[in-house]
Structure 1
Amino acid sequence: MPSPDEIRDSQRAAWAGLAAGWEKWDSVIMDQLAPVGAAIIEGLGIGQRHHHLDIASGTGEPGLTIARLAVEGRVVLTDLAPEMLDIATRRAAAQGIANIETRVCSADDLPFGDAAFDSVSVRFGYMFFPDMATATAEFARVLKPGGRLCASVWVKPEENPWTSIAMQAIGTETAVPSPAPDAPNMFRCAAPGYISALYEDAGLLDIAEWDVPVELTTKSPEQYWAMISEHVSLAVAALQRIDEPGRARIRAHAIANVRAFEKDGTVRVPGLARCIVGTKQS
C-alpha cells in the first residue's frame, strides 16, 4: 500500500494532467454538477459576511458561487493541483469575482488557524483523501463554533451510468482492477452513513445526509465519449494503457451503449450523489 505522501504525489500529477480536459469541458461539467453545488450551498446557509473554505476546489465550484453570495466575506479555494486552481482563478476573473484567494495544500494538513471559517465545503473530494479521518478533524478544527461542513460523494456505480457505461466499455479491452476497499477511489464513500460516521468521530453534531440526482447532458453520443475520455480520472488512466485500435473499439462500445439515453438528438445520462452536512458544537 503506498504511503499517504506517495498517494498525494500521484494524485497531484494525475490532476495536473486532467486540468486541460476539465477546462475544455467546463460548461458541461458545471451543468452536470450544479444540483450538487446548490444542495451544498443550501446545507451551509451561506451569509453575506461568511469566511468560507472550499476543499478540493478543482476549477472552482461551489466556491465561486459561494463567493457571489458572501459579498462582504471571503472564500479560500484549496486543491492539491495548482493547475486546477489556475483554472479557478481564470473563471473567477471572467465572472468578475474578486473576494477569493487560492491555496495549494492537502486536506489533512490545512495551513489555517483554528476557528478561521464560518463554513467548509468538499464537493467530490472526500473519496480521494489518503486519511479521511484526519482530514475531517482538520475541517472541524478550522470551523468556528456553530459553523457547518457540507460534503458530497458519489453513490454506487450502478446509480451512476454516466461513468459506469464508459468503464464497462473499457473493461471489454482490459481488466479494470477493483481498488482496495479503503483505497482512494471514486466510489469509496458510497455507503450510507460512511461520511456521517467520520463527522461524528470529529465531534460534529446535527448530521444529515440526502441524495441529489444529477444528469450529464451532451449534444451526441460522440460528445459524451469525448468528454468522459478527457476528464474522468478512472477512464483517462485506463485508456493510457490501451493501444489505438483498442481505444477505437472502446469508443464504439461506449457510444453504442449510451444511445439508450439519447432522445431528440440529446444524450441525458443520470447519476446520483449524496450530500452530508454537520455542525460544529457552539
Structure 2
Amino acid sequence: MPSPEEVRDGQRAAWARLSAGWEKWDSVIMDQLGPVGTAMIERLDVAEDQQHLDIASGTGEPGLSIARLSPRGRVVLTDLSAEMLDVAARRAAAQGIGNVETKVCSADDLPFADASFDSVSVRFGYMFFPDMPKATSEFARVLKPGGRLAASVWVSPEQNPWTSIAMQAIATETELPPPAPGAPTMFRCAAPGYIAALYEEAGLHEIAEWNVPLELVTDSPDQYWAMISEHVSLAVAALQKVDGPARDRIRAHAIANVTPFLSDGKIRVPGLARCIVGTKPDLR
C-alpha cells in the first residue's frame, strides 16, 4: 500500500498532466458541475466580507463564484497541483475577480492559523485525500466558531452514466483492476453518511446531506468522447495502456452507448452528486 506522501506525489503529477484538458473543456465542465457548486454555496451563508477557503480547487470553483458574492472578502484557492491553480488564476483574471489568491498545499496539512475562515468548500476533492479524517480535522481547525464546511462527492457509478459509459467501453479492451480497499478513487465516498461521519468525528454539528442531480451536455457523441478522454483522470490513465487500434474500438463503443442520450440536438448524460454541510460549534 503506497504511503500518503506517495499517493500525493502521484496525484500531483496526474493533475498536472490533466490541467490542459480541464482548461480546454472549461465551459462544458463548469456547466456540468455548476448545480453542485450552487447547492453548496446556498448552505454557506456567504457574506459580503466572507473569508473563505476552497480546498482541491482545481480550476477555481466554487471558490470563484464565492469571491463574486463577497466583494469585500477574501477567497483562498488551494490544490496539490500548481498547474491547476494556474488555470484558476487565469479564469479569475478573465472574469475580473481580484479578491482571490492561490496556495499550493495538501488538504491534511493546511498552512493557515486556527479559526482563519468563515467557510470552507471541498467540491469533489474528498475521495482523493489519502487521510480523510486528518483533512477533515484540518478543515474544522481553520474554521471560525459558527463557520460552515460544505463538500460534495459522487454517488454510485450506476447513477453517473456520464462516466460509467466511458469506463465500460475502456474495460472492453483492457483490464481495470479494482482499487485497493480505502484507496483514493472517484466513488470512494459514495455511501450515504460516509462524509457526515467524518464531520462528526471532527466535532462539527448541524450536519445535513442531500443529493443533487446534474447532467453532462455536449454537442455530439464525438464531443462527449473527446472531452471524457482528455479530462477524466480514470479514463486518461486507462487509455495510456492501450494502442491506437484499441483506442479506436473503445471510442466507437463509447459513442454507440452514449448516442441514445441524444435530446434536443444535444447529448445529455445524467449524473448524481451528494452534498454535505456541517457547522463548527460556537462555544462562546
Cα distance in 1 for partners of 2:45, 2:247 equals 45
Residue matched to 2:28 = 28
Question: How many residues are paired up?
Answer: 282
Percent identity between the aligned chains? 78
Cα distance in 1 for partners of 2:79, 2:263 equals 37
Cα distance in 1 for partners of 2:162, 2:180 equals 23
Cα distance in 2 for partners of 1:101, 1:81 equals 14
With normalisation by structure 2, the TM-score equals 0.99
Cα distance in 2 for partners of 1:106, 1:221 equals 37
Residue matched to 1:64 = 64
Cα distance in 2 for partners of 1:181, 1:86 equals 33
Residue matched to 1:181 = 181
Cα distance in 1 for partners of 2:181, 2:254 equals 27
Shift of 1:181: 2.9
Which structure 2 segments of 5+ residues have no match?
A: none
Residue matched to 1:127 = 127
CA RMSD of superposed structures (Å): 0.5
Amino acid at match of 1:79: D
The 8 Å contact of residues 205 and 278 in structure 1, kept in 2 or not, is answered as: yes
Shift of 1:263: 2.1
SS at match of 2:226: helix
Deviations 1:12-59 (Å, cap 9, x if unpaired)? 000000000000000000000000000010011111111000000000
Deviations 1:94-125 (Å, cap 9, x if unpaired)? 00000000000000000000000000000000
Cα distance in 2 for partners of 1:159, 1:79 equals 27
Shift of 1:178: 1.2
Residue matched to 1:54 = 54
Cα distance in 2 for partners of 1:14, 1:56 equals 14
With normalisation by structure 1, the TM-score equals 0.99
Residue matched to 2:241 = 241
Cα distance in 2 for partners of 1:242, 1:264 equals 34
The worse-fitting range, judged by mean Cα deviation, of 259-268 and 208-217 is 259-268
Deviations 1:224-261 (Å, cap 9, x if unpaired)? 00000000000000000000000000000000000110
Deviations 1:65-111 (Å, cap 9, x if unpaired)? 00000111000000000000000000000000000000000000000
SS at match of 1:44: coil
Residue matched to 1:158 = 158
Cα distance in 2 for partners of 1:263, 1:87 equals 32
Residue matched to 1:257 = 257
Cα distance in 1 for partners of 2:3, 2:181 equals 16
Structure 2 counterparts to residues 171-210 of structure 1, below 5 A: 171-210=171-210
Which structure 1 segments of 5+ residues have no match?
A: none
